[in-house]
Structure 1
Amino acid sequence: MAELAVHDLHKKLGQTDVLGGLSFRVGDGEFVSILGPSGSGKSTLFQLIGGLLEPDGGEIRLGEQPIRGRRGMISYMPQRPSLLPWRTVLDNVRLGAEIAGAPDPPDAIDMLDKAGLGGYADAYPHQLSGGMQQRAAFIRSLLSPQDFICLDEPFSALDEFTRAEMQQWLLSLWEENPRSILFVTHNIEEAIYLSDRILILTDKPAQLLSEYHVPFRRPRTPDLILSEEFLDIRRQIARQLTAPHR
Structure 2
Amino acid sequence: MGQLTLENVTKSYGANHVLQDITLSVEEGEFVSIVGPSGSGKSTIFQLIGGLYSPDEGKISLDGSVLNNSRGHISYMPQSPALFPWRTVVQNVEVSAEIAGTKIDRTKTLELIKNAGLSGYEGAYPSELSGGMKQRVSFIRSLNAPQSIICLDEPFSALDEFTRLEMQQWLLSIWETNRKSILFITHDIDEALFLSDRILVLSEKPAVVKEEIIVPFSRPRSEELLLSDPFLALKREIYSLLRG
SS in 2 for 1:107: helix
Residue 110 (structure 1) shift = 0.9
For 1:189 and 1:164, the matched residues in 2 are separated by: 10
- TM-score when normalising by structure 1: 0.97
SS in 1 for 2:117: coil
Post-superposition Cα deviations, 1:199-227, rounded to whole Å, max 9, x if no partner, equal: 00011111100010000110011101111
For 1:142 and 1:12, the matched residues in 2 are separated by: 32
Q: Percent identity?
A: 57
1:4 corresponds to 2:16: no
- TM-score when normalising by structure 2: 0.98
Alignment correspondent of 1:86: 86
Alignment correspondent of 1:73: 73
Which of structure 1's runs of 4+ aligned residues deviate more than 3 A? none
SS in 2 for 1:94: helix
For 1:208 and 1:70, the matched residues in 2 are separated by: 24
Alignment of 1:23-62 (within 5 A): 23-62=23-62
Residue 114 (structure 1) shift = 1.1
SS in 2 for 1:118: coil
For 1:108 and 1:218, the matched residues in 2 are separated by: 26
For 2:85 and 2:68, the matched residues in 1 are separated by: 32
Residue 27 (structure 1) shift = 0.6
Alignment of 1:164-243 (within 5 A): 164-243=165-244
Residue 125 (structure 1) shift = 0.6
Letter in 2 for 1:213: I
SS in 1 for 2:134: helix
Post-superposition Cα deviations, 1:87-132, rounded to whole Å, max 9, x if no partner, equal: 1110000111110000113311111111111111111111100000
Letter in 2 for 1:163: R
Number of aligned residues: 243
Residue 13 (structure 1) shift = 1.4
Alignment correspondent of 1:141: 142
Alignment of 1:95-106 (within 5 A): 95-105=95-105, 106=107
Letter in 2 for 1:176: T
Residue 54 (structure 1) shift = 1.2
Letter in 2 for 1:89: V
Structure 1: stretches of 5+ with no match in the other structure: none
